């Protein structure tokens, strides 16, 4: 399924241990506190890592994009830098994190990494091939249940995946919270199935 530009994209999970998704779904932050690889995230403590990790799907997508040009950045370093641009709203008193906020993220990646990026809304699934003809990637808002495409989601959006190619027959993407290898890298779904999860918005990015 060729894209107009086929770029080799490494896979990164939003958790440092990519196999943790099922445990995180079942146990939440407690599972992240047991991640033996947490220090790779760039967090100062395992608590800081666990507090951020559920919000890092967008940064995992960015890490994959930057990885496509040979760069490797700790995921939490990216998140904190993005927060300085307003891409996350961090309330230390309530230990809450809100984001990813799209417009500040665009400013962040353009100014910090020289990427070209644009917020897109009202994007029909059928239009994704055209988007990917113009742009290298599309960070798409989907329901996190897309890891189980056979299940009908209750809503659309709430999670971000990196769409790397699209045709009228299939959508290919990397899912930062896939629960098994087949649902993580180079996942391919029929457009009609993808559409059930897709919130018709996201961020187009080019290197």
Average the pLDDT over 9-24 and give the result: 96
Q: Would the pTM count as exceeding 0.85?
A: yes
DSSP3 helix / strand / coil % (the chain, rounded to 5):
40, 20, 40
**Could you tell me the two tokens for 29?**
């932050």
At 35-46, the pLDDT tens digits run: 999 999 999 999
- CATH number of the domain at 18-206, out of 3.90.70.10, 3.30.450.40, 3.90.1150.10, 3.30.720.200? 3.90.70.10
Inter-residue contact 193 to 149 (CB < 8 Å): yes
- CA 23, CA 112: separation in Å to the nearest integer? 34
- Structure confidence at residue 96 as a pLDDT band (50, 70, 90): confident
Q: Where are the domains of the chain?
A: 18-206
Phi and psi, residue 79, nearest 5°: -65, -45
- Structure confidence at residue 60 as a pLDDT band (50, 70, 90): very high
Query: Has residue 3 got a pLDDT over 80?
Result: no
- Per the DSSP assignment, residues forming a β-bridge with 187 are 173
């Amino acid at each position: 399924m060729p894209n107009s530009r086929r770029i080799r994209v490494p896979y990164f999970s939003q958790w440092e241990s990519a196999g943790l998704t099922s445990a995180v779904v079942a146990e939440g932050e407690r599972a992240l506190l047991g991640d033996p690889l947490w220090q790779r995230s760039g967090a100062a403590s395992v608590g800081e890592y666990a507090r951020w990790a559920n919000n890092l799907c967008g940064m995992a997508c960015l890490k994959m994009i930057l990885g496509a040009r040979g760069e490797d950045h700790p995921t939490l370093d990216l998140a904190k830098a993005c927060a300085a641009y307003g891409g996350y709203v961090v309330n230390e008193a309530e230990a809450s994190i809100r984001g990813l906020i799209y417009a500040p993220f665009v400013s962040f990646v353009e100014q910090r990494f020289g990427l070209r990026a644009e917020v897109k809304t009202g994007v029909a699934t059928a239009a994704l091939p055209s988007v990917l003809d113009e742009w290298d990637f599309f960070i798409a808002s989907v329901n996190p249940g897309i890891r189980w495409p056979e299940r009908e989601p209750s809503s659309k959006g709430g999670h971000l995946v990196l769409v790397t190619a699209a045709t009228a027959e299939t959508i290919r993407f990397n899912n930062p919270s896939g629960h098994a290898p087949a649902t993580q890298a180079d996942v391919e779904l029929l457009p009609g199935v993808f559409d059930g999860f897709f919130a018709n918005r996201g961020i187009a990015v080019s290197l």
